[in-house]
């Protein structure tokens, strides 16, 4: 499986809220960095953080606008969308992924503006 | 010149504070989007925005951690650094660039956390 295919499959699991499925696709030494929030490490911390994220919303959607891949590094430009009842929150994000030699995600780092998220949460 | 070479050369001009040199490398319909701040369009608005940015600092440095390229799209993960006197501000950034058929930069969009910048400016 190519690095890009690994990332695409991982994102499918995340937006499907399949935490076990997502965790099965990452390495034991995963670094999961939500830049303004800070870092999580490994599959268990991934499940905890993602669990909090997806359990608070009725639906999660990642719209990928552009995706680039060089070697084992994949980057994408996205709008991550979170639905609560009839309200959608839209968050512009740029993500960086690294895929290790076993085809596991070893890095996931997302860049976004925290205030863009929090202002919609409270709005 | 490859898309990646065009982006590398453009960044060299920006950090060298050569506004005319940078503007010569972009298309007339450039979209320059600092996501939390908003968009600028075309070489003149690029020069105005960059001019305000670089004139306020004694030194500007972009450290590129990762860079990926697919077709005419280049993405990179950077730490943009701004020096004022002896104080450095470090800003984690993910950038998206598109290069048109003439080798000109037609899109430059940077994702970052506004508060990470402003808290260091006032700190």
ipTM confidence score? 0.95
Q: Answer whether B92 touches A (CB < 8 Å).
A: yes
What H or E segment, with its residue span, contains residue B72?
A: none
Q: Answer whether A64 touches B (CB < 8 Å).
A: no
**DSSP state, residue B17:** T
Whether B115 sits inside 8 A of A112 (CB atoms) is: no
Q: What is the pTM of this model?
A: 0.96
Task: Give the span between the Cα atoms of A71 and A98, in whole angstroms.
Answer: 9
For B40-68, letters b (16+ CB in 10 Å) and e give beebeebbebbeeebeebeebebeeebbb
Of A35, A68, A111, the CB nearest to B73: A68
Q: Answer whether B112 touches A (CB < 8 Å).
A: yes
pLDDT tens-digit readout, A61-100: 999 999 999 999 999 999 999 999 999 999 999 999 999 9
Q: Answer whether A66 touches B (CB < 8 Å).
A: yes
Whether B36 sits inside 8 A of A116 (CB atoms) is: yes
Q: Answer whether A60 touches B (CB < 8 Å).
A: no
Q: What percent of chain A has pLDDT over 70?
A: 99
Q: With 0-12 CB in 10 A as exposed, 13-18 as middle and 19+ as buried, what is A6?
A: buried
Q: What is the pLDDT of residue B47?
A: 97
Task: Give the span between the Cα atoms of A45 and A95, in whole angstroms.
Answer: 18
Q: What is the pLDDT of residue B22?
A: 97
Of A36, A68, A95, the CB nearest to B70: A68
Coil vs helix vs strand at B81: strand
pLDDT tens-digit readout, B4-30: 999 999 999 999 999 999 999 999 999
Whether A111 sits inside 8 A of B112 (CB atoms) is: yes
Whether B66 sits inside 8 A of A73 (CB atoms) is: yes
Q: Answer whether B77 touches A (CB < 8 Å).
A: yes
**DSSP state, residue B18:** -
Whether A36 sits inside 8 A of B75 (CB atoms) is: no
Q: Which long-range contacts (CB under 8 A, 24 or more apart) does A82-87 make?
A: A82/A53, A82/A56, A82/A57, A83/A57, A83/A58, A83/A59, A84/A56, A84/A57, A84/A58, A85/A58
A84/chain B closest Cα distance in angstroms: 23
pLDDT category, B123, cuts 50, 70, 90? low
Binding-face residues of A in 14-53 toward B, CB within 8 A: 35-36
Q: What is the pLDDT of residue B76?
A: 98
């Amino acid at each position: 499986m190519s690095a890009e295919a690994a990332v695409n499959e991982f994102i499918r699991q995340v937006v499907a809220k399949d935490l076990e499925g997502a965790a099965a696709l990452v390495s034991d030494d995963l670094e999961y960095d939500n830049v303004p929030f800070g870092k999580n490490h490994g599959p268990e911390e991934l499940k905890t953080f993602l669990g909090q994220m997806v359990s608070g919303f009725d639906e999660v959607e990642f719209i990928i606008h552009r995706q680039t891949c060089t070697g084992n590094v994949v980057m994408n430009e996205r709008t991550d969308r979170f639905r609560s009842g009839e309200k959608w929150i839209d968050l512009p994000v740029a993500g960086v992924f690294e895929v290790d030699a076993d085809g596991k995600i070893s890095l996931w780092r997302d860049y976004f503006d925290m205030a863009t998220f929090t202002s919609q949460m409270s709005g």
